[in-house]
Structure 1
Amino acid sequence: MAATIRRGLFAALAGFAVLLCLCYTGLAVVISYVTEDMLVQRLLEREAAAIRTRLPAAASGSDLITVYRQYSDLPAPVRQQFSPSAPRAEVFTGTGQHYHVLALDLQQAGRPERWYLLADVAPILVVSRLVREVGGVLIGVALALVGLALLLAWLLARRLVLPLQTLAQEAQALLPGHPPQFSARGRPDEIGFLARRLESTFTELQTALRREQAFARDVSHELRTPLTLMRNTLMLAAEHPLQALEQAQLQQGVDELGNTVELLFALARAEQIPFETVELRGCIEQCLLRLLEEHGWDASLLALDLPQRLPVRGHGQLVNLLLNNCLGNALFHGGPACQLTISFEHGCLSIHNTVPVGQAVRVQGFSHGQLLLARLAQVMQWEIRFHPGTADYRVDIVPVMAA
């Protein structure tokens, strides 16, 4: 493509240069001939004025000009191309003569007469002699100038298209997953603007592809467990009616499936949501009220150690989803009798829950949801760490504090 642009630009510049040379050459030739004819015409007019002052004498004061009182006295080649009623004419002959004729209307003895001034200008023609004597030199100079114009056109085309060609080669050499870096991004002209726009477009495209791949991977990984649970429960329902435990497992799978889908769509839309200042303490309190309403958990088992205000930078929806999942998982794994402690110290939010000794391992939430929670924190540039234990479980969240 770059080579085609360069050839097209070279053809345009070369064509313009050659056309300009031809136009100026033609204009110079036309001006030369017009100037020559105007000079001869001026000589005839001056001679006509002189004859009017010397009447009745009819002799011409110039060796180049002859006065004819009768039209029939004019040379035959002149009469063939000049009409008696014409005021002036330029006559070309095949024998080498070149004439200029001027009609002169006079008054002789009260009668109008028409005389004719004939100038043989072949000896004083300069343009034709110049072409014969130095025409080769002029043609050589013209060809040299045309060659120089073509060389300049080629150099200009190469110089102007080289940044575009480099940009195209760099774009063609881009590899999937590698950040784009164009050398022309620092230019202040349109090519620099194009390079910067290409960089941002490639970056956004790679981000969109990574987000799509992550979404497909998360859908495949995170939805498999609840779907398997629901499928197995429904297969057992074909043999005997569902018991309360099986119904609870089915409801659990539906809830987890809905929660996971909500998380996945929130992650897919996360980069389109602008960052804002979020009051973290308010979000924690809202999540706790929601858990108390849904699970009927004993609030006396809760211990809060939080500052009065916790302004952080993030997405309000993602912050609520992250806290809801962390607190929900804490209650799910710890059971209704677990003690829950939420504290904030040295820029780190800790969610700590106890796990009753001897309780069977319950597969939900953290067993396969840590990846999603880590990605939720990563989108907001937060840190999250999981500390499992036999008697307790702690999650540490390091948010980005607002200024």
Structure 2
Amino acid sequence: MVDSERIQNPWMSSEHTSIQMNLNANATKRFSYPSKSSLNNDKLGVAERAFSAAGAAVLSAVIVNPLDVAKTRLQAQAAGVAYSHPLSNLNSRMSCFGPNMMFADLRCSPSCTRAGFHGTVSLCPPDCFRYKGTLDVMYKIIQQEGFTRLWRGTNAGLALAVPTVGIYLPCYDIFRNWFEEYTTENAPTATPYVPLVAGSLARSLACATCYPIELARTRMQAFKETQIGKKPPGVYQTLAGVVNVKGTNRPPNSLQGYRVLWTGMGAQLARDVPFSAICWSTLEPTRRKLISLVGGDDASILSILGANFSAGFVAGTLAAGATCPLDVAKTRRQIERDHVRALKMTTRQTLVEIWRDGGLKGLFTGLGPRVGRAGPSVGIVVSFYEVVKFALNHRHTTS
């Protein structure tokens, strides 16, 4: 009947076409967030997903690096790393030449008023070089080493973040899509566990691939530069120092020497796998709930940004708090300078040692900066990644 009416009334065809064109134009102008059912059908390739993730990783690494430095310094101090003025070791070596050769300024900073004189040496009390908390770490680093040292290890963080997150988030998307498709058809009751499994597998793959850079970043952040006026070693020099360390505690062959570059990877996986499992199993339902509250499939790009950041912040905070003891163990294993001991130690032995030395407080050393770093970091990474994915998907749709 409709066809006959169009034949009898030709104006209906042109009007119908005009209305349809207007509706299509309005549809392309309106952003819509992909629903759960359409996640498997987006048109992004691995390269575009990696690009989205890398951009998120760069932004996050720069913003939260000071908290990462504070966390690492607190954990390294609890493990026995002594922080002091760079000249203190030089002064002790010069003491054999007599008091006339000991003239030095060992104040923590030129503005410190707590320094006293020991002979001809201006000396600060030990408390000036001991960290008491997150803000105290930041204050003393700025005062003693300079403001830019809060971003110590950022180059390693960027070198690590781009490939790691560039592997992690795209692989998570791919694994999640595969597992959701499989469980929907074959095991519907297992679908809620898909984010947990996909996140764990993706994080394990990313961690094993880029671990030596993570080792370099931890050591760069944990240790002070002892030579005044000399540029601190970068990623390559730090890793070369790990492999080429001299002394009796060096591994007996070159193969074990390079194996040291993966020292503590078990602790890293023991931390990152449950972190990812907790994070994604919390983030996915939270994100979908928030997006449904702000408009569902018709949510605006700002709503998507806010929903993803909020869900990422909550998930990252919970996951970081739960896995803090494993993070302490990871740091302790990565800063171990005795290669033979480092190769023999296990994560379980390290946790027992931490408990024996510091009890429950020792296991949660650096909890404040770790939680303060992980919440915003996950929120930034996930929201930036999803917004870029959203924009690229929209470009594919309209082209």
- Indicate the TM-score class for this superposition, using the shorter chain for normalisation: under 0.3
- More strand by percentage: 1
Instruction: Name which one, 1 or 2, has greater alpha-carbon Rg.
Output: 1
- More helix by percentage: 2
Query: Quick one: higher RCO (CA 8 Å, sep 6+), 1 or 2?
Result: 2
TM-score, normalization: structure 1?
Answer: 0.18
